[in-house]
Amino acid sequence: MLFALASLAGLAALLPPRSEVAGEPLCTEARQLNIEATERYDVILQDGQVGSEERTELMAIRELFRQAFQRCPEPKYLHNLVLLSEDLGTLDTALLYCLSLLELHEPATGGKERALCSKLEQRRTTEAAVLQVSTSPPSARLVLDRDGEKVFTAPATLHVLPGVHRLEIAAPGYEERVWEDTVAGKGVLELRFALSPLPARVSISSEPAGAVVHIPGSRELGRTPLVGAELAPGRHVLLLEHPGHEPFALSIELAADERREIGPLVLHPRPPPPLPSPPPAGPAAVPPAPRAGEQGPSPSWGPGRWLATASLGGAVAAAGLGVALHLEAIARSEEAGAGNDRTPSSYAHARSEYGAAVEQANLAIGLYVAAGVLTATGVLLLAMSDGSTSSAEQSARREVPLAPALVLRF
């Protein structure tokens, strides 16, 4: 690497003093900074090699010259900045410093500075590599080789001598990027940088605390009170959920690197579930009329029907027994008449048989009477049972359904 500063010890003599006054505090500090920078640069000259560490040291020396010029705006300190920038290979920066030097220096002695600026312009044209820098978003801030004093704005075309160079790219609301590489030689190198937006930070509080905050269908951010949750710039829908409370949906629009505090958000208790309502009372079901040739539904068997059935059954039994006794009495009387041969003994036997037959006949007549009574009783009970059933069915048909009970909810 060719050093533009052969020796910084004699740089102060290149430019005559401008307005420095002995004992002036700021200019005294500037002289001390200049001496320190010169001594540190002499160490690099003695080594003879410039690597990454030496370039970092050259950038630090350049900063000392800048501080000296800020304290005491003497042309010699600005002249040192021009030469050191050229030495670092940042020709655009060196030319900017040189143009500032022309404005600062007296016209009478500005010939040397104009020659220096012309030399830098020529080297930019014939020796420099061209860096064409574009960024997304546009208008990003570009700092070349750590020189924060001379800042470029993208898109920009930068001219650098071959060597290692560092470019810092920054924009408000975006993450800073750093590019550092070796520029091999003359040519055009296109550099495009897409900066990532800085995340927004959201803090959310709620009443009651402990609500889960999440993005529906995505991820959970945490529980309230939530502090500094990172979200990408743009619109987001957040959902807060707490046991026993209604969910709370929140839509927010966030800018890059924004800080947003939300809350406290009041979560309302979830109402209790409603009590089941009774089914509405419909009209009483009426059995369909039987079709032709079909029997209707059998009536219900109440106590009257059971008594009627028992009476009719008893009547049938009594009548059957009376018939049997009646037939037996007839048979005995016929036998008694056939066996009577008019003798005292046969007459007595026949008389006895006739008496038994008469008793049986009388018993049969009693059974006939009982069967008739039981039959009449059964028929009467059956008629009464059918009448009461018909009245109950008619009452059911005439019954008006009651309205459902009123349910009070608290």
pLDDT number for residue 242:
93
Type of residue found at 234: G
Asked if residue 239 lies in contact with residue 230, where contact means CB atoms within 8 angstroms, the answer is no
Buried b or exposed e, range 326-337, using 16+ CB within 10 angstroms: bebbeebbeebe
**Phi/psi of residue 373, each to 5°?**
-65, -45
pLDDT number for residue 283:
66
Type of residue found at 72: C
pLDDT number for residue 252:
93
Short-list 167, 195, 164, 178, CA closest to 54 = 164
DSSP state of 401: P
CA distances from 19 to 9, 73, 102, 378 (A): 20, 9, 17, 149
Q: Which residue's structure tokens are 């500037």? A: 30
Consecutive 10-residue averages of pLDDT for the chain (410 residues): 36 38 71 88 76 81 87 85 85 86 65 84 88 93 84 91 90 92 87 93 93 90 92 92 92 91 91 81 63 56 73 80 81 71 69 78 82 80 67 49 38
Write out the two tokens for 44: 């690099």
Asked if residue 163 lies in contact with residue 105, where contact means CB atoms within 8 angstroms, the answer is no
Type of residue found at 172: P
Type of residue found at 396: A
Identify the burial level of 316 via C-beta atoms within 10 angstroms of its C-beta, where 0-12 means exposed, 13-18 middle and 19 or more buried. Answer: middle
What is the CA angle 244-250-254, rounded to 5? 145
Q: Which residue's structure tokens are 């090699």? A: 49
pLDDT number for residue 260:
93
Q: What is the CATH number of domain 127-196?
A: 2.60.40.1120
Short-list 97, 78, 73, CA closest to 20 = 73
Whether omega before 137 lies within 30 degrees of 0, making that bond cis, reads yes
Angle between helices 75-88 and 91-104 (to 10 degrees): 170
DSSP state of 50: -
CATH fold of 200-266, please? Immunoglobulin-like (2.60.40)
* Length of the chain counted residue by residue: 410
Query: Domain ranges in the chain?
Result: 1-126, 127-196, 200-266, 303-398
- Compute the distance between CA of residue 342 and CA of residue 215 in angstroms, rounded to an integer: 131
Query: How much is the pTM?
Result: 0.51
Q: What is the CATH number of domain 1-126?
A: 1.25.40
pLDDT number for residue 402:
41
Asked if residue 222 lies in contact with residue 205, where contact means CB atoms within 8 angstroms, the answer is no
pLDDT number for residue 206:
92
Give the number of other Cβ atoms within 10 Å of residue 256's Cβ: 19
> Does 127-196 match 1-126 at the fold level?
no
- Identify the three-state secondary structure at position 163: strand
